[in-house]
Chain A
Amino acid sequence: MGKIFEITNEIRKLRFFADEMTQQQLAEKAGVSRQTIVAVEGGKYNPSLELAFRIAQAFNVPIEEVFQYRVIEKKKKPDKKGEPS
């Protein structure tokens, strides 16, 4: 069994509850480009701790409400006999 570490975020949901805040507005508040916010929101880029705090501050919520750290157990592919190796 392998382990995969994943960082997920709730930025889309938080933006929705913050009066439909646009990505551009969030980018301005966090001091980064819109492209970075798009990448972070889509899980394509894990922000630095500083940026993560700035994003959380933009929503006025603690950092753990924005970002979550998950450990996923990954099952290995079964071998030809049908038994997991």
Chain B
Amino acid sequence: MNRSSTPIKVSEGSVSFEEQIQPACGSAARSVLPEHLTTRDPKWLLVEEGFTLSREHEIESLFAIANGYVGNRGSLAEGSPLSAPATFVAGIFEQLDTPGSVPQLMVLPDWTSVRIWIDDQPLSMQQGEVLEHRRVLDFRRGILWRQWRHRDPHGRITRIVAFRFASLSDRHLLLHSVSLIAENYSSTVRFESSMEIGESAASLLEPDWKTRCSARRPNVLPLTVSAPGRDTTIAFGVTSQMLNSGQIAGRRMVNINGRRISEHCEIEVEVGAECHLHRLISVFSSRESPKPFECVMDHLSHVIPLGISAAASAHASEWESHWRAADIEIDGDDSLQLAVRFAGYHLISAANPNDSRVSIGARMLTGAAYKGHVFWDTEIYMLPFYIFTHPAAARALLEYRYHTLEAAREKAHHFGFRGAMYAWESADTGEETTPRTVIAPNGEVLTIRNGEMEVHITADIAFATWQYWEATGDDDFFVQFGAEIMLDAARFWASRGVIAQDGAFHIRNVIGPDEYHEDVDDNVYTNLMAAWVLRRGAETAKLLDQRWPDRWRELVSRLQFTNEEIASWIKLAAAMFIGFDSKTLLFEQFKGYFDREAIDLKTFEPRSAAMDIILGHERIQQTNIVKQPDVILATYLLGDEIAPDVRAANFRYYEPRTGHGSSLSPSIHALIAARLGNNELAQKYLKQASEIDLGNNMGNAAGGVHAAALGGLWQAIVFGFAGLKTSSDSLSFVPNLLSHWRRLAFPLQWRGRKLAIEIDLETMRVGVSGTQSFKLGIEGGSQITAEPEGEYVAKRTKQGWKPWSMVHSSA
């Protein structure tokens, strides 16, 4: 862009200037996104046709873009009466100075605000006539598109095509492009793009930004903000380019003060003219560097010369790479195909393998609900996706738990326990951030006890740690980080329970995954998982001592483990009270569960609300209604430690008593039903799980997408319908496709190998690329030793699956 400029006006706290924009012709005036970066296959596209104002918050969440470092809601650039634009950076929390406040993911300035005027008429869907409007989220490329054709009150027809993305190849880079075509008018068109700091945040002007402005053209507009209650600075730099195919020049006006940067580009357009506004935004924080704004300037100085097309190509290429490692293909069910790609898209967008001091909040970087807090959702529901498709991201997520061990130890100490008692909800520091109370809309003040009693999270984290290590063979992680998590978790459980007069080890006053029942004793999920952790803790000590004695000695010295303590863990695990009836094969979910008031959930159907709303918080505690999988979840996670007939009996018992009052629920039921061959239930729950965010009639996603549900959906397919089971040296499958699925295919990474799985109703194929042989099994068929490289096929007959046979070997 050629510019001629007026002098810069610098006044107290602001800078403004004007410059002329010369027309750009030919290829430079066209849209920069090459055709090959546009996806046409509808199975990769989420499309919102038209515009429904009342759904806007949901749409913003569903259409959010993110790259694990920064996320942005899919809001309209010009806004609307219900727009809630937001930018989030992982790990950037604020804590307001109000009583009872907890840290919350900070809503950062919206970088996508672009408003357009045709003469003095703002281009708005609230005025004039919307001729065409759609938002398209391209899962494959990670790009959000908007196509809008509008007739304003003066009859002028304007076409807008816009796209934006948060670069997956360069996580500090954001790109926003808006193209305008004046279909039937000649007029003055003005673009206003702006970023503004919210009221609660403090603006920090870089000390030398005025000097920069006067020294050269400030083609990078700065905005720096500090997070309230935190010593964190976030810096944005915005640079833009306006291209105009017309022959008439325009002008650009910039105004920068401490809290707002705005840029006006004014152009005279003729009929059929195209204008393109391209914006590159860089964002850094003081978490990465003590001088984030310097990083912004350096970053953009490297990015700008490469151009927008190169940035887009790199971003799309990175997405291709991720999809090669994660895409699930389902032939025969297009809506489910879209749902699993929606899940995969958001899961890929949420993780950052380069930052081990953040995790993934319950709504990812797509919305402010749940304040960005991290729950067991990450380890039990989301982590398996990363373990088997992007191990580096899984490791980073678990390292976050390592880095927050100190806070977990302090919490344990506070409650009089030993070891690590992880926060039920955590933010940046690992401290407990669960709000203490909430006013329900029926006026009831609910005391929230999860922070104190929902202790199973410590077992969940330890379980996930071991699961990662077993699935990857990442000894480096285990030695440096994982072992300490295991040991301190075991130490916690040993202190959390009591040996009672019956000689059993009881864990009392807890909340299990079924949160409808609080302050219960001997919740089966908690006790089974705690026992598992105690055994694994002892095994960890033994492994370290044998294989990594230096590390073991260091841990012993620092954390004062003794042989007696380790030995006690085995005894406590053996003595763990598990309410189990060997005749019925049923676990009693907690002590006294079987005596609770029996409620037939069918009598409440159909219903549109959770059961605790219909019955009330107090009443539901007295009933046998289960909020979400509890016993059932344990029977899934503990795999072969639970006999198949026990798993089946407990599913038959608890399934009809589960109210599914949590979005974490349907996917696990789908998974287990599929494993048990109950395809009617499996299909029902799979559909329910796939519609939690995408169903358009409940407003569920207004505050952000349901991260755990998305991870659960992936698990339902891979562990449920494909029936994947893993151990440290074997893979096996229990395939069970729904009858209308023609084919299910997905990639996996496991212990340094890449696998390609393909299943249809009669055949299963596994392609392997690795360096070591392993055991490969299939339901009903014998296990074989698979070569490091090769392809294997198993065929289904009426009698079941035949054993694997090698198709070819790449060795």
Q: A and B: real partners?
A: no
